[in-house]
């Protein structure tokens, strides 16, 4: 008995010693210090510094607490007071398709290239001069028109009679094609409407060239360059372009809410597995009809690799305001004058039930009040028939909910995933296309937040003009039009703290990833952004100048504008406490011809920099002079000395302080 007790004591003290020595000797991979770390944790704590190890947040705290984790091999960034937040999570994105918009084979018709019908027709007129008859005019997504302007096949025929043209509206809710394109797709008076779509026809039954919603658009799109099947290489390029744009904007996780087929889901996974996909991606498979819902329900299981998640299903119930296809009870509104439900209620109920029963998430694109109610009806009946603990079904966009609808969001814990930038950019045209009582219900974000409805933000490019999250912040916190002085329902403004929390934790929650992303807390993925401005103290109107300066996913820098310098110290030769450390870095290192030693002086002082070989023999003194405070740099070029490849040392002395480190010469 006694021996056992002793063994246990020894055992426990071993654990304790091992743990405590680990705590005090652990070296981080990366440290960001001397800044304002907005954690978005439950208490909204703000710290000075953060330490990262193996892609995971090790600790947040004061400079003193975090610099203990500095050491050999640790990279560090002195933030000089700058603000860091969790990487933003975008709840409504189209990753591959956004990257594809910049494919050189498209005619670029996006804003600002085209803002009116005249712009578009002039652009095509010039473009067609370079084409041979029969060659396609395939536009990216897409054009915008002025209010009350319409476009049809006969408008296009005037500028491109001999070349088929496929042009998508920027909203992605409709396309316009010319007569040549209709001919190629064999669409005429007798062609029936595909499910949930319309081939718009004039009073004589002749197709006008306007194709409403994806299935009708695809009748022509399948022939247009850039819209049919892409090669794996082309898809890889699109994903790469798309994720670069995400990182520049400050998104570290995005949710691709329209993946057209399961092959693309598998392709995303493959690219995630081979580290081509660096942005964290959550994907929903688009479901066109009941038959497809039945098929997928049998076949597919969730996927979650940490980098890529296949999370469920996406449906659409109505279109958009520009297409006049939002499903409102008031059909007299211009915005709903062409509207029709993409599914009848019974059919929608059946489909949602099938998809809900897979155990995965269901998201429905819907803007109008009638469509929102129909979607909630379907969620409610599926959830009642088969209660699941935490289904987190979602409404995408949800522009004009009634009070009753909001109460049902609340009761059923349905997520609203939406785009506040639409208030800024489209609020004026929404006003013109609806009426004042409808506009009073435009995205009542504060009311919904106060009701405890889970909210998530996304930019929805390419359907939106801009991808930067600053427009979500501006739209949500100011609710002002970009074009006029109008402020839409100022009582629904959020604070920047609320908007940031929605764009991080809220959107993470919408993809079941709030335990691993969305805030800067120990144990979570090290996904973060250094910003040009302090989000919490900038004037609201300054939001439009906000830029991501550096973006990190999993502790890896995936984007930098170069303003934040990464340094590192080799602990072999640096025995200094953090408070007297001289900040410096060597670049490049290793080097072959020359390298520069960059350093920062907090105050003016005498600076001496020496270079030694591996035996400690001095090779040269690079600098020995009085220098002003500020950033300095001095070059060490090898051509003046006969040096062989290998390890060298530098030593910087500033007054009493000394820094030293290794230089690796390679030939
Ligand atoms: Zn979208």
Question: What confidence score (pLDDT) does residue 667 get?
Answer: 76
**C-alpha of residue 171 to centroid of ligand 1, in Å:** 8
Q: How far is the CA of 630 from the centre of ligand 1 (A)?
A: 48
Classified as helix, coil or strand, 203 is coil
What is the reported pLDDT for 647?
81
Cα 290 to ligand 1 centre (Å): 21
Ligand 1 centroid distance, CA of 141 (Å): 12
Q: How far is CA 21 from CA 13, 15, 26, in A?
A: 12, 10, 8
Give SS3 for 409. Answer: helix
Ligand 1 centre from 256 Cα, in Å?
8
- Let me know: does 621 contact 608? Beta carbons within 8 Å: yes
Better pLDDT: 573 or 415: 415
Residue 491 backbone zone (phi > 0: left; psi -120 to 50: alpha; other: beta):
alpha
- Tell me the CA–centroid distance for residue 387 and ligand 1, in Å: 28
Distance 158 CA to ligand 1 centre (A): 32
Give the C-alpha separation, 26 to 20, whole Å.
Answer: 10
Q: How far is the CA of 286 from the centre of ligand 1 (A)?
A: 11
Q: Which residue has the tokens 């302090």?
A: 534
Ligand 1 geometric centre to CA of 301 (Å)? 24
Higher pLDDT pick, 615 / 328 = 328
Interval between CA 460 and ligand 1 midpoint (Å): 5
**pLDDT tens digits, residue range 104-149?**
899 999 998 999 999 999 999 999 999 999 999 999 999 999 988 9
Please list, in sequence order, all residues whose beta carbon lies within 8 angstroms of the beta carbon of residue 513, skipping any fewer than 6 positions away.
Answer: 89, 253, 280, 282, 309
How many other C-beta atoms can be found within 10 angstroms of the C-beta atom of residue 532? Answer: 16
Query: What does the pLDDT read at residue 355?
Result: 98
Q: What CA–CA distances, in Å, run from 283 to 512, 578, 614?
A: 12, 44, 53
What pLDDT is stored for residue 586 in this prediction?
Answer: 81
Query: How is domain 569-667 classified at the CATH fold level?
Result: Immunoglobulin-like (2.60.40)
Question: In this predicted structure, what is the pLDDT of residue 347?
Answer: 98
How close is the Cα of 428 to the center of ligand 1, in Å? Answer: 21
Distance 93 CA to ligand 1 centre (A): 6
The values of phi and psi at residue 235, to 5°, are: -65, -40
Using the mean position of ligand 1's atoms as its centre, give its distance from the Cα of residue 398 in Å. 12
Question: Is the distance from CB of 626 to CB of 606 less than 8 angstroms?
Answer: yes
Question: What is the distance in A from the centroid of ligand 1 to the CA of 419?
Answer: 10
C-alpha span between 638 and 622 (Å, rounded): 12
Distance from Cα 525 to the centre of ligand 1, integer Å: 26
Domain covering 1-85+518-558, topology: Urease, subunit C; domain 1 (2.30.40)
Confidence bin at 610 (pLDDT 50/70/90)? very high
Which band of pLDDT confidence, cut at 50, 70 and 90, is reported for residue 331?
A: very high
What is the 92 CA–ligand 1 centroid distance (Å)?
A: 6
Q: Quote the pLDDT of residue 599.
A: 83
Kindly give the distance from the C-alpha atom of residue 259 to the centroid of ligand 1, in angstroms, as a whole number.
Answer: 11
Nearest to 353 by CA among 383, 391, 387: 383
Q: Report the CATH fold assignment for 104-221.
A: Diaminopimelate Epimerase; Chain A, domain 1 (3.10.310)
Helices (H) and strands (E) in the chain, counts: 19, 32
Domain with CATH 3.20.20.140 in the chain: 232-516
Alpha carbon of 609 to ligand 1 centroid (Å): 57
Edge-to-edge order in the sheet of strand 548-553 = 46-47, 36-38, 83-86, 528-531, 548-553, 556-560
Quote the ligand 1 centre to 458 CA distance (angstroms): 9
Span 536-548, pLDDT tens digits: 999 877 888 999 9
Q: Residue 456: which of 492, 497, 500 has the closest Cα? A: 500
What are the pLDDT digits (tens) for 437-491?
999 999 999 999 999 999 999 999 999 989 999 999 999 999 999 999 999 999 9
pLDDT at residue number 301: 82
Q: How far is the CA of 99 from the centre of ligand 1 (A)?
A: 14
What separation in Å is there between the alpha carbon of 257 and the centre of ligand 1? 7
> Among the listed ranges 235-249, 457-471, 617-631, which one has the minimum average pLDDT value?
617-631
User: How far apart are the CA of 514 and the centre of ligand 1, in A?
Assistant: 22
Rounded to the nearest angstrom, the distance between the alpha carbon of 288 and the centre of ligand 1 is 15
User: Which tokens in the block code for residue 349?
Assistant: 């109920």
**Domain 232-516: which topology?**
TIM Barrel (3.20.20)
Cα(219) to centroid of ligand 1, in Å? Answer: 20
What is the pTM (predicted TM-score) of this model? 0.82
The CB density around residue 207, as the number of other CB atoms within 10 Å, is 21
Residue 383 CA to ligand 1 centre (angstroms): 25
For residue 41, report the distance from its CA to the centre of ligand 1, in Å: 29
256 phi, psi to nearest 5 deg: -85, 105
The CA–CA distances, whole Å, from 531 to 55, 257, 467, 520, 551 equal: 20, 27, 16, 15, 9
Ligand 1 centroid to 527 CA: how many Å? 24
Gap from CA of 24 to ligand 1 centroid (Å) = 48
| Residue 101 Cα to ligand 1 middle (Å) | 14
Ligand 1 centroid vs 501 CA: distance in angstroms?
Answer: 21
546 in Cβ contact with 531 (< 8 Å): yes
User: For residue 1, how far is its CA from the centre of ligand 1 (angstroms)?
Assistant: 69
Mutual angle of helices 345-356 and 369-385, in 10-degree steps: 50
- Each residue's pLDDT tens digit, 193-235: 999 999 999 999 999 999 999 999 999 999 999 998 888 999 9
The rounded Å distance from CA 91 to ligand 1 centre is 10
Report the pLDDT value the prediction gives residue 581, as an integer from 0 to 100.
53
Which residue ranges does the chain devote to CATH 2.30.40.10? 1-85+518-558
Q: 9 C-alpha to center of ligand 1: Å?
A: 61
- Distance (Å) from CA 394 to ligand 1 centroid: 13
Structure tokens at 109: 């018709």
What mean pLDDT, rounded, does the chain reach? Answer: 91
> Residue 323 C-alpha to ligand 1 middle, in angstroms?
14
pLDDT digits (tens, 9 = 90+) for 550-563: 999 999 999 998 88
Measured CA to CA, the distance from residue 220 to residue 590 in angstroms comes to 55
Contact 379, 347 (CB under 8 A): no
Q: Tell me, in angstroms, the distance from the centre of ligand 1 to residue 461's CA.
A: 7
Do 155 and 145 meet the contact criterion of CB atoms below 8 Å apart?
no
**What's the average model confidence in pLDDT over 394-402?**
98
- Report cis status (omega within 30 of 0) of the bond before 221: no
Residues of the chain with CATH 2.60.40.2550: 569-667
Ligand 1 centroid distance, CA of 579 (Å):
50
Distance 575 CA to ligand 1 centre (A): 54
């Amino acid at each position: 008995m006694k021996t056992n007790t002793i063994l246990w004591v020894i055992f426990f003290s071993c654990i304790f010693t091992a743990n405590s020595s680990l705590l005090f000797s652990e070296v981080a991979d990366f440290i960001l210090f001397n800044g304002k770390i907005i954690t978005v944790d439950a208490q909204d704590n703000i710290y000075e510094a953060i330490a990262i190890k193996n892609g995971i947040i090790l600790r947040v705290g004061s400079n003193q607490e975090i610099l203990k984790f500095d050491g050999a091999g640790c990279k560090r960034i002195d933030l000089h007071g700058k603000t860091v937040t969790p990487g933003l999570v975008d709840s409504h994105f189209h990753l591959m398709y956004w990257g594809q918009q910049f494919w050189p084979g498209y005619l670029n018709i996006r804003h600002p290239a085209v803002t009116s019908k005249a712009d578009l027709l002039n652009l095509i007129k010039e473009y067609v001069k370079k084409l041979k008859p029969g060659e396609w005019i395939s536009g990216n997504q897409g054009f915008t028109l002025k209010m009350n302007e319409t476009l049809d096949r006969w408008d296009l025929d005037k500028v491109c009679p001999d070349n088929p043209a496929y042009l998508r509206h920027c909203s992605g809710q409709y396309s316009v094609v010319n007569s040549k394109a209709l001919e190629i797709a064999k669409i005429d008076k007798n062609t029936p409407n595909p499910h949930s779509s319309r081939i718009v026809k004039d009073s004589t039954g002749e197709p006008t060239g306007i194709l409403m919603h994806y299935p009708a658009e695809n009748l022509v799109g399948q022939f247009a360059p850039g819209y049919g099947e892409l090669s794996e290489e082309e898809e890889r390029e699109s994903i790469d372009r798309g994720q670069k744009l995400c990182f520049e904007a400050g998104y570290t996780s995005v949710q691709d809410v329209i993946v057209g087929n399961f092959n693309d889901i598998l392709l995303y996974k493959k690219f995630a597995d081979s580290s081509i996909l660096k942005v964290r991606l959550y994907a929903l498979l688009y479901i066109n009809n009941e038959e497809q819902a039945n098929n997928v329900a049998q076949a597919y299981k969730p996927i979650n690799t940490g980098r890529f998640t296949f999370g469920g299903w996406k449906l659409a119930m109505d279109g958009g305001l520009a297409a006049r296809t939002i499903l409102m009870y008031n059909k007299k509104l211009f915005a709903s004058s062409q509207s029709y439900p993409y599914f009848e209620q019974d059919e929608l109920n059946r489909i949602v039930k099938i998809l809900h029963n897979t155990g995965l998430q269901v998201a429905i694109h819907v803007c109008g009040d009638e469509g929102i109610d129909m979607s909630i009806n379907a969620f409610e009946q599926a959830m009642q028939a088969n209660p699941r603990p935490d289904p987190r079904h979602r409404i995408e966009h949800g522009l004009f909910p009634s009070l009753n609808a909001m109460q049902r969001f609340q009761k059923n814990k349905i997520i609203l995933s939406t785009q506040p930038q639409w208030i800024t950019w489209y609020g004026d045209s929404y006003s013109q296309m609806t009426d004042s009582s409808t506009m009073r219900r435009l995205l009542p974000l504060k009311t919904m937040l106060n009701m405890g409805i889970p909210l998530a933000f996304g930019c929805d490019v390419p359907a939106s003009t801009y991808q930067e999250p600053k427009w979500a912040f501006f739209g949500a916190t100011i609710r002002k039009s970009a074009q006029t002085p109008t402020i839409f329902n100022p009582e629904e403004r959020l604070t920047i703290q609320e908007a940031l929390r929605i764009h991080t934790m809220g959107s993470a929650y919408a993809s079941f990833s709030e335990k691993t992303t969305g805030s800067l807390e120990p144990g979570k993925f090290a996904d973060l952004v250094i910003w040009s401005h302090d989000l919490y103290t900038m004037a609201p109107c300054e939001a439009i100048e906000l830029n991501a300066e550096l973006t990190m996913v999993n502790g890896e820098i995936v984007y930098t504008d170069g303003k934040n310098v990464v340094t590192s110290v080799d602990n072999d030769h640096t025995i200094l406490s953090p408070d007297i450390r001289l900040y410096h870095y060597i670049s490049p290192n290793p080097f072959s011809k020359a390298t520069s030693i960059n350093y920062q002086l907090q105050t003016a002082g005498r600076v001496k920099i020496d270079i030694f070989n591996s035996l400690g023999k001095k090779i040269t003194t690079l600098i020995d002079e009085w220098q002003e405070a500020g950033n300095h740099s001095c070059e060490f070029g090898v051509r003046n000395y006969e040096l062989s490849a290998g390890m060298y040392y530098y030593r910087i002395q500033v007054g009493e302080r000394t820094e030293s480190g290794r230089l690796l010469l390679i030939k």
